[in-house]
């Protein structure tokens, strides 16, 4: 069991099937507008980050970019109460949600993570394909920014996981990586809501006689 820090938050499932912070013990510590990554999203992200290790992935940057939360209990209206823990994002000791660390005491650490994986993804792509001109950071940033703007105009609320995956899944038009294609096929087969095994479901049952314990 990872160490409990005392901070907590309540998260809810949005209409977009992403998780968002509904309430937190310390609103000034984190930027909750980016949403919170659920255990399946963390697993997916970590799998793709593994491809970047040979290009210089910095474990400290990854772990500093997120604040992990473990599940305390299930609540009504598709919500969970979580408590903050100290854990390693790349190899967590339990299933965790992760809140982007982008404000308060650690301002900029999530942004540093985004810049870090962007640079490494470009290294991976340049090593994988024989481009006439190597990809550079500025042109990829422009492409991804334009895609973000299109989603914003379409009324899609930006979520941290979407921003991360837009980088880790990025390939130039007309190119593909076999590993990415396989991952996309797996994602299509796994679009259900967050699931728990029988033991976890039993431990998350709400005690209807003690609502004040929520």
Instruction: Dump the DSSP string for 121-173.
Output: HHHHHHHHS--SS---HHHHHHHHHHHHHHHHHTTPPP-HHHHHHHHHT---T
The phi-psi region of residue 155 (left if phi > 0; otherwise alpha if psi is between -120 and 50; otherwise beta) is left
Q: What is the pLDDT at residue 94? A: 83
Q: Which residue has the higher pLDDT, 97 or 180?
A: 97
Q: How many whole angstroms separate alpha carbon 89 and alpha carbon 87?
A: 6
Query: Mean pLDDT throughout 23-49?
Result: 84
Confidence of residue 204 (pLDDT cuts 50, 70, 90): very low
Half-sphere exposure of 55 (CA within 13 A, CB side): 18
Cβ proximity of 66 and 86 under 8 Å: no
Domain for residue 161, yes or no? Answer: yes
Q: Identify the residue whose tokens are 């899944």.
A: 169
Domain for residue 128, yes or no? Answer: yes
**Residue 124 pLDDT greater than 90, yes or no:** yes
Confidence of residue 7 (pLDDT cuts 50, 70, 90): confident
Query: Mean pLDDT throughout 86-93?
Result: 89
Domain for residue 102, yes or no? Answer: yes
Tell how far CA 117 is from the center of its chain: 13
Q: What is the pLDDT at residue 179? A: 54
Other Cβ atoms within 10 Å of 60 Cβ, number: 8
Domain for residue 23, yes or no? Answer: yes
Confidence of residue 194 (pLDDT cuts 50, 70, 90): low
Domain for residue 211, yes or no? Answer: no
Cβ contacts of 54 within 8 Å, gap of 6 or more: none
Domain for residue 1, yes or no? Answer: no
Domain for residue 30, yes or no? Answer: yes
Domain for residue 201, yes or no? Answer: no
Q: What is the pLDDT at residue 5? A: 60
83, 107, 95, 94: which is closest to 26 by C-alpha?
Answer: 83
Query: Mean pLDDT throughout 28-53?
Result: 87
**Residue 191 pLDDT greater than 50, yes or no:** no
Q: What is the pLDDT at residue 29? A: 54
Confidence of residue 197 (pLDDT cuts 50, 70, 90): low
Q: Which domain holds residue 122?
A: 7-192
Structurally, the chain folds into a number of domains equal to 1
The tokens for 3 are 């160490």
3-state helix, strand, coil in the chain (%, to 5): 45, 20, 35
Confidence of residue 175 (pLDDT cuts 50, 70, 90): confident
**Residue 13 pLDDT greater than 80, yes or no:** yes
């Amino acid at each position: 069991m990872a160490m409990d820090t005392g901070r907590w938050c309540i998260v809810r499932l949005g209409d977009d099937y992403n998780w968002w912070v509904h309430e937190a013990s310390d609103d000034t510590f984190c930027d909750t507008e980016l949403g919170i990554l659920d255990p399946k999203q963390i697993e997916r992200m970590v799998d793709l980050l593994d491809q970047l290790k040979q290009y210089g992935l910095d474990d400290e940057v990854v772990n500093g970019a997120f604040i992990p939360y473990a599940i305390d209990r299930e609540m009504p209206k598709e919500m969970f109460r979580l408590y903050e823990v100290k854990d390693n994002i790349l190899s967590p000791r339990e299933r965790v949600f992760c809140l982007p660390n982008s404000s308060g005491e650690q301002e900029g650490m999530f942004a540093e993570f985004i810049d870090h994986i962007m640079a490494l993804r470009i290294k991976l792509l340049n090593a994988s394909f024989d481009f006439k001109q190597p990809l550079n950071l500025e042109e990829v940033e422009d492409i991804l920014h334009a895609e973000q703007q299109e989603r914003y105009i379409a009324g899609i609320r930006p979520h941290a996981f979407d921003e991360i995956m837009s980088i880790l899944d990025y390939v130039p038009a007309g190119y593909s990586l076999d590993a990415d294609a396989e991952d996309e096929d797996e994602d299509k087969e796994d679009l259900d809501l967050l699931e728990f095994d029988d033991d976890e479901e039993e431990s998350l049952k709400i005690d209807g006689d003690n609502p004040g314990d929520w």
